[in-house]
Structure 1
Amino acid sequence: MAEDYSDNFLAKWLAGELSESELEAFKASDDYEAYKAIINTIDSAELPTADLSKKYEAFQTRIKTQNNSLQENKSSVKRIIPLWVYSLAAACVILFIGYRTFFQLAEYNTDFAQQQVVMLPDGSEATLNADSQLAFKTFGWKTNRELNLNGEAYFKVKKGKTFTVATTQGNITVLGTEFTVISRPKFFSAQCFEGKVRVSINGEKSVILTQGMAINVQEGIANQYNFREKEPSWLTDESSFIGVDISEVIAELERQYNIKVKGKALLKPAQFSGRFTHNNLNQAALTIFTAMDIPYRLLENSIEILSY
């Protein structure tokens, strides 16, 4: 005979929060394989929650109809499918709805010239810089604090389980600290403002950064350096760089002002150290291009690099 498992019990099972004794008892039950088989198919399903709710209502109606029919004909009709099977299926529909609702990724995106503060489930905080994307699972967060980042973000991490920022170029792992991560197609960087962080670059190189230490990775070459800032400069409307390729600096200028810089193919290899403001495009252009001896022309919604 099947056990009557509550939604809360099933949710704890999905989150990996059952005790060893609870899990062993569940695995020994008649229902375990049935629930497991249904959950194994959930990730490939594409039905939105609204449709699931409608299907569940229809399913309940079908069960009631079946039960009434069985009651009316119980003297002459042999019940082939036990009622508990229908109850199990109904519970799985509820579980399916909850799974799709709570296990979906929380996703945040910033546009050009935009920043956004994201409060994480444990009270940690992530501030996204312009043109950045952050995603993480909210359910079971306390035991699996992992996020996926594409772009740039500043993290203030509460102490707790290991906290990991995963990017396409490397992972940053901490317990509780403050740090920034930049993950762009051709540029990767991490700065530690407090505590200690472990930076793993493409699974090949691992370095430990403490307060005031940073690392840039360009064209596969890693460069460690020290800095004095107490927080990222872009939180106060400035972008700062130490030995960063000029093409990355110009790409950041485009993100912060939501403009296009034309003629980038004319750029010669060079590294830029300095900063530019986010609230005066003319001043920002002077700071970058004049300092690097790059001729340019400021247009209405763009900047054009001239031959040099």
Structure 2
Amino acid sequence: MMNREALISKWLNNNLNDLELEAFKNLEDYDDLVKLNNSLQAFKAEDYDTSNELETVLQTIKTKKQPQTHWFKPFMRVAAILAICFSLYYYTTTLNTTITTEFAQKTTVELPDASNVSLNAKSSLVFNKNSWKKQRDVQLNGEAFFKVAKGSTFNVITTSGTVTVYGTQFNVKQRDNYFEVICYEGLVGVNYNSQETKLKPGDSFLIIDGKTIAKEKENRSTPSWLNNESTFKSVPYKAVIAEFERQYHVDITLLNIDSNQLFTGSFAHNNLDIALKAITLPLQVTYSKSNSTIILKRE
């Protein structure tokens, strides 16, 4: 079987037989190569007689005259076309798709294999459509819920660890000093510090400030934030405040409050005052508002 480079070379020279043409059409980047070739048709070097140019160069050498450079211009035009060709091809095959959400924003993304990803507020997702068949990697910064198409596998890469997908539904949350994976259906593998932990439905993997935190079985079928509610169980208060800021686009200052104390409760994403009461009353904390700045204080 002729290799990829040889097929492309013969195709550019319009010299493929029927079998080679079929092999070329089966190349993974066939569509990109055709589009690229069509785009380059507008770039054409000026016609010149190769035999005459060669004779001129040889004559110059024989007579020991100063070499002429007029032949160099057509050569440079061809070189420029090749450079453009390579640049465009490199660009189309390495271009990533990046999806981001802002404060108080959520969105849904479809991956190349038809898997769906729900992205929580202030998060980003990066993947490459063109290289998906060879390298199925998704980069996540923030929080996302994955509903994986049947039979699909890929890796979710975060700065804290990598989640290997075996076909499932799961949630990944990677924030400052907080890394959590919850499996809702199927099976996932969490690679953290070079060790893989397999999660079955209801299992969780949680690291806070570098420490492994044991959690009870998850009894929900999907994460609460998909229904515009953030729920916490024995989570440091600072993590609750950070999530509140992302959902309401506010800045919160704590006065006389231990940010590491554990909090159990929830808050909704659609009513600021009710949400503030939900995160302050259980801890007997008061709050005051000034535009987008909120102060939580314990007397």
Query: Please, which moves more after superposition, 139-148 or 107-116?
Result: 139-148
The one of 139, 142, 151 equivalent to 2:133 is 142
**CA shift for structure 1 position 176:** 0.8
Partner of residue 155, structure 1? 146
Quick one: distance in 1 between partners of 2:151 and 2:83? Answer: 33
Partner of residue 239, structure 1? 230
Question: Do the aligned partners of residues 240 and 151 (structure 1) sit closer, same or farther apart at CA in structure 2, a change above 3 Å counting?
Answer: same
* Structure with larger Rg: 2
Q: How many residues align?
A: 263
Q: Which blocks of at least 5 consecutive residues in structure 1 are unaligned?
A: 16-52
**Residue 197 (str. 1) matches residue 197 (str. 2):** no
Quick one: distance in 2 between partners of 1:194 and 1:305? Answer: 38
**CA shift for structure 1 position 142:** 2.4
Provide Cα deviations, 1:82-130, integer angstroms capped at 9, x if missing partner.
x999878745632430220232111111000000111111101111100
**CA shift for structure 1 position 264:** 6.1
Partner of residue 286, structure 1? 277
The one of 109, 118, 130 equivalent to 1:118 is 109
How does the TM-score come out when normalised to structure 1?
Answer: 0.74
The one of 251, 254, 258 equivalent to 1:260 is 251
SS in 1 for 2:181: strand
Partner of residue 263, structure 2? 272
**Residue 96 (str. 1) matches residue 76 (str. 2):** no
Q: Which blocks of at least 5 consecutive residues in structure 2 are unaligned?
A: 13-22, 31-37, 60-70
The one of 211, 214, 223 equivalent to 2:204 is 214
Query: Please, which moves more after superposition, 117-126 or 98-107?
Result: 98-107
The one of 166, 169, 174 equivalent to 2:157 is 166
Question: Do the aligned partners of residues 78 and 155 (structure 1) sit closer, same or farther apart at CA in structure 2, a change above 3 Å counting?
Answer: farther
Quick one: distance in 1 between partners of 2:161 and 2:54? Answer: 65
Question: Do the aligned partners of residues 179 and 78 (structure 1) sit closer, same or farther apart at CA in structure 2, a change above 3 Å counting?
Answer: farther
**Residue 128 (str. 1) matches residue 108 (str. 2):** no
Residue identity opposite 2:166 in structure 1: L
Partner of residue 292, structure 2? 301
Residue identity opposite 1:156 in structure 2: K
**Residue 70 (str. 1) matches residue 50 (str. 2):** yes
How does the TM-score come out when normalised to structure 2?
Answer: 0.76
**CA shift for structure 1 position 263:** 3.0
**CA shift for structure 1 position 6:** 3.6
Q: Is the 1:143–1:161 Cα contact (8 Å) retained in structure 2?
A: no
RMSD: 3.4
